[in-house]
Structure 1
Amino acid sequence: MSNNTIISRVENDRVLVLERIFNASRDLVFEMFKDPEHLKRWWGPRGWELPVCNVDFRPGGVWHYCMKCVDQNQGEFFGMESWGKGVYKEIIEPEKIIYVDFFSDAEGNTNDAMPSSDVTLEFIDLGCGKTKLINRAEYASAETLKTVTDMGMMQGITETWDRLEEVLQHLK
């Protein structure tokens, strides 16, 4: 697996597994997921910013954020806001983060019309300053997984993780 390649597979028709190797220590990669100031620098696809990012990083805590398209070249998406909410279930520093991921509104109310997922992030220390990130997202059904993939989620996560790698390299 090259460092900028995401390996993806679907398990049981409703679990999407994504893997990528980052050129940074496990501690630093983990830190990027818990600090709102770090998240603001890389979360979301290219051309999108995080004007709102509130993180209560503890089991039972909530991560509430707004992605906003700031790239005029993205046409009808320019100015669009997409709100999300994560509810942390388990945190084992610097190895694992488990949370439920929801679409939400600006007040943090979950959007039950959109698919939610149970997400497990695993941070594996490969030594030599490299970390493998494994993202397992379990959806309620194959149909809900298809809904998010049809929305362009793979392009979005690829661009998001590319941005993460860029920030990691800048911080090293």
Structure 2
Amino acid sequence: MTMNEMTVRVNGAELILERVFDAKRELVFKAFTEAEHLKHWWGPRGWELPVCKVDFRPGGTWHYCMKCVDEKQGDFFGMESWGKAVYGDIQEPERFIYTDYFSDAEGGIQEGLPPSEIEILFEEQGGLTKVISRSRFGSEEELRTVMEMGMEQGIRETWDRLAEHLAAIS
């Protein structure tokens, strides 16, 4: 795997993403778990995070709003997409687990859109950090639903933005 290249594998109802980032593991872990970092990179290009509340502890939540601010994105311009994560096991800086939901502005779970159980692993590789994201869905059909919504492209752009943010601060 080369730097800046995200690999994507589907294994049944599980989506596995991997990428190596040019930053130390502790910094990459913080970038995934602290609001002041997430605001700079979470979401595809042309989207911002006007709301980002993180309570990073087992049982704590991360509630956020992605908003499209790029007029060139047509019908998406001005659109808001709310998400909510509920954190499970945390082993800083090696890994954490959360359940990811589509939500509304109040934090209520959106019915009909599939949640996923996500484990993020951070592997030290001589000053670089390999991030492995494992998203487990309730069924292969649920995974197909989010893939058809453009999730892979969105994550690719999001992780590109993370690499740019890490380069700017490290």
Which residue does the alignment assign to 1:5?
5
Report deviation, 1:114. Answer: 0.3
Amino acid at match of 2:83: G
What's the counterpart of residue 141 of structure 2? 143
Aligned-residue offset at 1:33 = 1.1
Aligned to 1:159: 157
Aligned length: 170
Q: How far does residue 55 in structure 1 lie from its aligned partner after superposition?
A: 0.3
- Secondary structure in structure 2 of the residue aligned to 1:143: helix
5+ long unaligned stretches in structure 1? none
Unaligned runs of 5+ in 2: none
Query: 1:33, 1:86 → 2: CA distance?
Result: 12
Work out the CA distance in 1 between the residues paired with 2:96 and 2:71.
34
**Which residue in the other structure is 1:123 paired with?**
122
Q: Deviation string for 1:145-172 (max 9, x for gaps)? A: 0000000001000000000000000011
Inter-partner Cα distance in structure 1 for 2:137 and 2:97: 14
How far the C-alpha of 1:111 sits from its partner, in A, is 0.7
The whole-number CA distance in structure 2 between the counterparts of 1:170 and 1:115 is 34
Partner in structure 1 of residue 71 of structure 2: 72
Amino acid at match of 1:38: H
Runs of 4+ in 1 over 4 A off after TM superposition: none
Structural RMSD (CA)? 0.5
* Alignment partners' CA distance in 1, 2:150 and 2:32: 22
The one-letter code matched in structure 2 to 1:86 is: A
Q: Distance in 2 between matches of 1:58 and 1:29?
A: 17
State the alpha-carbon separation in 2 of the partners of residues 102 and 84 from structure 1: 6
